[in-house]
Structure 1
Amino acid sequence: MDGMILPDAEWRHRAGLDGLVRVLGDVRFVGGCVRDTLLGIPVSDVDLATSLAPETVVQYLKEAGITAVPTGIAHGTVTAVIESGPVEVTTLRRDVSTDGRRATVSFTDDWREDAARRDFTMNALYADPATGEITDYFGGLADLEARHVRFIGDPYQRIAEDHLRILRFFRFLARFGDEPDGAALKACSDRANDLMALSRERIRDELLKLLVAKDAVRVVRLMLEHRMFAPVLAVRSADRLAYVAAREEEAGIAPDPIRRLAALVPSEDVEAVGARFKLSNLQRRRLSAAVIPPEGDTRALVYRAGQESAIDRILLSDYSVRDAVTAASWEAPRFPLSGGAILARGIKAGPEVARLLRQVEDRWIAEGFPDAARVDQIADEIAGGPLRSISSE
């Protein structure tokens, strides 16, 4: 694959991108946008590498009237906001010191030196914006063609620089890989306890991405075999994850990281996991609800629990896949009665109104969500009829 040219792709015609490249001059596309274009999959984020110092990047952008946001300027990253969205521009750099969680860097004009500090060979590919010519210092093109996820240089050194690379290796293996690289797998296994030094947020973000990758089930089994979860999460088996993944595919429902996390960890641990990984309150409630076995009619479940939670609970249960399809395609109606309709039937304001309203709603659900005319009939039956008045009590 030597001398390869980056294929044309939709993202290369993003509004304002050519102008940004002209303003900065010495830049190359790098990382995921190059890798994913070569694989023929959609590109979401565009990253540029440059030999310009961060302050020079900011200056050039401001002079050109392009908004410059110093998102990570201490590490050389400036976000250029162009018409079609943000583009990260990062100065070539080398590591001065690392502790496995963060790095101190210095800037350089040596492209190979910048490539050498990256994690995997397939992520160290650069492409000239003008010609599309790809520069590959470490065999990334051949690895990409072979679907071989390989660390650049010594795997132990790469992991020592950033412990999160252990989880990134497995995520990339699940997304792009075939058979695991032996040296990489051994290094990750040997250094698994290094994960304990990382923040829970970094572990969470990487794990949730891994769980929805194409080959997540196979890779999670591999991780269990090598005791990779032990330092960070209690996982006994991948069987329930495999069960949910197969049902998602059969139902045509997109993989979801919270649903799959609920399938991965023991049911009794979901609340503790939500707290430990600092999930949002919404995510924590969803994670806890996902392991509650569903009861009754599918549409009633959607109405009461919400569509998202209903789908989670059905897919994790022994309900049929058809029920999941129903839950995903059915839009719950609004209850066509208000408290005012109960008051209009002569019921005094107070707790009794809410109680009767719930009774009407329960009957409405039990009868399969009939139309408003039937709801009025139910209300008449429960609240004493449309002509009832306060004075008649």
Structure 2
Amino acid sequence: MSVEDFCRLCKGNLRIKGTLSNTKNIFPLRRVPNEKSVNERLMALGLTLSNDNSRSGRICRSCFRLVVRIEEDFAVFKKWHEAEKESVPETPFSSLEERVPGEEVSLAISGVHSISPVSGEKRARERLPSETTNDVNKKLCTETPTPKLSRPTAEMPVRRSLTEVIIHYPSNPKGDKMECQANIAGIVENIAKENWRTAANLIVRHKELFGRLKENVLKVIEDESKLLCNPYNGFMLWRSSAADLKAFTFANLLSDLERLSPFMFSIFSKISKRSPHSTCAAAAIALRGREPRLSAFAYCVDSVLMHGGAKKEVFKRLCKLGISTSHSCAVTKQKESKLLAASEDIQNTQSREEKMPIECDFES
């Protein structure tokens, strides 16, 4: 390929299907009257390009639009510079030779000289301590930069290439050639190249295609919810007896969620930033809204409320939110727990008595 096939500034390929398109000559052979060439515009901005055969003499349309925007902004910059130049008071010295020794000259980028008198004594003085004692704290207490939140783009990227698909049928060996539209060309191309991450990103941006995909995602969530609400699958939230609640742990609930509903578990885990307690609580409350008998987590919340001395109104409000059960159910479950604890104490006492040695007094 020739050097003329690439942009002089961004090095982009200018040939599309073998022909040069969307380009502009930097050094045109024929000059259009009342129109500046690209080279003249760049020279006005301070960039001089050499016209030799080893470098490309073309520029793409994107870079040319960038040059036009720089010209517009540079005009505004000139106005600011002139306004500041007029507002600066005249210096008392006509030349640099008339400066008093000890004065410094600061040169700006624009070439304007501004003289700031600094005496030699002031430079030779030792540095005095600051007037306030909080300067060190001010330097240390710097503002932490706020993290930038990623927002998915709804627009498809602009494509300049053409994507075609040829489908060969047994009845038609030559195949049917189909030209892909711009909004699906990138999806087809990345699927053919097995770039699954890029293809999935483009599918999300396609409104109609993502709408169909959303229905399938909801169907997967529906199937996993039905699986969790089936009492014969041994899901932990179904086990709400007093003995089961005594052995209730978030680790077992988390493993059940990951085992029975991996897709829904990944959604809750992503929302809560992989916090196990938040994931379990959110999933338990959401599933109880679908099936009220999934109440193991709600009974655990009841025990906390009863221990804290919550009133009936508290249970009533939290029960509407699906966080706890009603007050009557909480009292009944507390009685069952007390009976279980009492029976366990009796069994422990009996087992200890059975293990104790029997002492016999033969003398009496």
Q: TM-score range by the shorter chain?
A: under 0.3
Q: Which has the higher contact order (CA 8 A, sep 6+)?
A: 1
TM-score by length of 1: 0.23
TM-score by length of 2: 0.24
Structure with greater strand share of residues: 1
